[in-house]
Structures are given as structure tokens and as C-alpha cells.
Amino acid sequence: MSKNLFAFVTFGGLEFTKLAVESIKETVKNDHDIFAVVGKPNDVETLNYLSQEGISYKVHTENMGFPASVNDIYDYAWKQNNYDNLILLGNDVILYPHAGDSLINLANNSDYSIISALQYDVRDLIKDFPETKQYFQGESCIITDFSGKPWEKFRSDFFYVDEIAHMQLYDIQNLCLYKRETFDKIGYLDVNFFPAYFVDNDYAKRISLSNIKCCSIKNARFFHFWSRVFKQGSGGSTDYYFECNRRYYFNKWGGLVDQETKVPELGIFSREHELKTIRKWRIK
């Protein structure tokens, strides 16, 4: 029996976190633990909720950004503990039935090191079910009334036969399983991508060039509220940081996404200068 850890980063947005946790507990039948990194300083509400739910967590006393928070998850999963499978998810997602177990079952019965699920986001929902538009406001799809549960209009629990897309990754952060060998091969996220932009592109490129065996399960579906930290919470980034990270990606890889001309060092295995790097970017 495998040891499985579901883990996520929060930066406010407690209502979304509650839905994510509830969906894990309601849909995942395999044995599992849950872990959170609370990235927003003084987020007492989230800490109280996690404590009430018996969920282990790490607290940041200053804004460390998303990459460093995920690195904390890696350390918890594979340095402080010995989990077989780490399922990294956003705190603004809801697992549909079968999604979490599909990832775990395939990991336990194959040599794939990374297995991702397929999102169904709020824009898909409004397009497929126009009557759900009443629950969301504006182009950013702000939701304030959760009682209607509009995401339940889409049901994927009938997708019991998994369809696998070999050597493809649909999503590496919002619901994706990692085995330890991925970490052993390429290590941590690059914290220069503060607070978050382009870090997924960077990690995906490193995965691709490292020839790590991966796939996606088309029928493992999850609902995504679509970047609630940035669009609805208090942790919103800015166009300035987007541009900083875009430039950093360009300089690191010699081009933007799908136009790269350089191959930098793929592995990042030390966190020694992480805090200094984060503070440098944070004050720019």
C-alpha cells in the first residue's frame, strides 16, 4: 500500500481551501494525508481551520511566493517524511469523483514518475452551462455565493475507464502526482520566479529535457476556479512581476516558451540562498 500526500499552498481564500479539502476527503478512497503551506502571514482563519480538520501545515511569516512554498512541500514529503506519491494541487480546485484515485492507482501500477489530471475551469462551465453565469461576476469570474454549487453541473464520475495521454502533461500544479524520483532528478522549483509567474513553464521544460516518464489521465477531472489568489484574493500579483519573470525566463532559456535556445542547469538541489533571492525580487 502506497503512502500518499495531497498538498497545497494557500494565500488567503479560505472558502476555496475548504472546498478543496472537502473534495479530497469525499472522493479519495486510497489512504492519504493532507498538508498545507500557509503563505499569507497572520492568516489566523486558515490556521484555525486546518487545526480543526487535523491537517498538518507550515506557516510563513513573510511572503515567500509560490515556488518556495512548493519547495517546502517537497521537503515535507521527501526529506521529513517518506511518501511514495505527492499529489500537488491548487487550493482553488475541486476534485471530481475518481480523479485522485485515478492518479494514485496508475502511479502504483506503472513506472510513470509524473501523472497529471485534466482541468475543467470556470470558463468551461459558463460556456457549457450558461445558467451558471449568475454565480460569477465580471471577466475574472468572481464568486461570492458558493451555496448553489454550480461546478456540480458538470459530472465526471461516469469516467471510470482512464484514457492515458503518454508523455504529455496537461497541468503540473493544479492536480498532478509526483513520485520521488522526479525530485531526485531535477529537485526544487526556481524561486527566482517570484511570486509565481512562469515557474510552471520552467519546471515543465526541465521535466521535458530530463526525459522523465510522464503522462496525463484525460478522464481524471477537476474543477478549477481559475487563479483565485490573483483574481479574487489578497495575494494578487502585478503586471510588473509578470514582466520581471518573463524577462528572467527569457534570459535563463534564451527565449520565451517554445522558443528556447539555451539549456541551463536542470537540477536545483540546494535552498541555501533561497531567502536572499526571494527578498531581492520582492523589493524590486
Contact between 32 and 4 under an 8 Å Cβ cutoff? The reply is yes
- The rounded Cα 175 to chain-centroid distance in angstroms is 6
Residue located via cell numbers 483574481 = 231
Angle between helices 14-27 and 99-108 (to 10 degrees): 60
E strands, 18-168, are 33-38, 56-59, 85-89, 93-95, 114-121, 136-137, 142-143, 164-166
- DSSP class per residue in 107-122: HHTS--SEEEEEEEEH
Determine whether 23 is exposed, middle or buried from the number of CB atoms within 10 Å of its CB (0-12, 13-18, 19+).
buried
Contact between 28 and 21 under an 8 Å Cβ cutoff? The reply is no
Q: pLDDT value at position 202? A: 98
What is the count of structural domains for the chain? 1
How far apart CA 14 and CA 216 sit, in angstroms, is: 29
Q: Which of 110, 87, 211, 209 is nearest to 164 (CA)?
A: 110
- The residue range of the domain holding 71 is 4-282
Q: pLDDT value at position 230? A: 53
Q: What string of pLDDT tens digits covers the 284 residues of the chain?
A: 899 999 999 999 999 999 999 999 999 999 999 999 999 999 999 999 999 999 999 999 999 999 999 999 999 999 999 999 999 999 999 999 999 999 999 999 999 999 999 999 999 999 999 999 999 998 888 998 899 999 999 976 556 667 899 999 999 999 999 999 999 999 999 999 999 999 999 999 999 999 999 999 998 999 999 865 554 455 545 788 899 999 999 999 999 999 999 999 999 999 999 999 999 998 75
How far apart CA 64 and CA 284 sit, in angstroms, is: 14
Angle between helices 14-27 and 44-52 (to 10 degrees): 20
Q: What is the CATH number of the domain that holds 209?
A: 3.90.550.10
| Cell numbers standing for residue 19 | 472546498
- Contacts of residue 278, Cβ cutoff 8 Å, sequence gap at least 6: 64, 65, 68, 191, 194
Q: pLDDT value at position 170? A: 93
E strands, 21-107, are 33-38, 56-59, 85-89, 93-95
How far apart CA 281 and CA 90 sit, in angstroms, is: 23
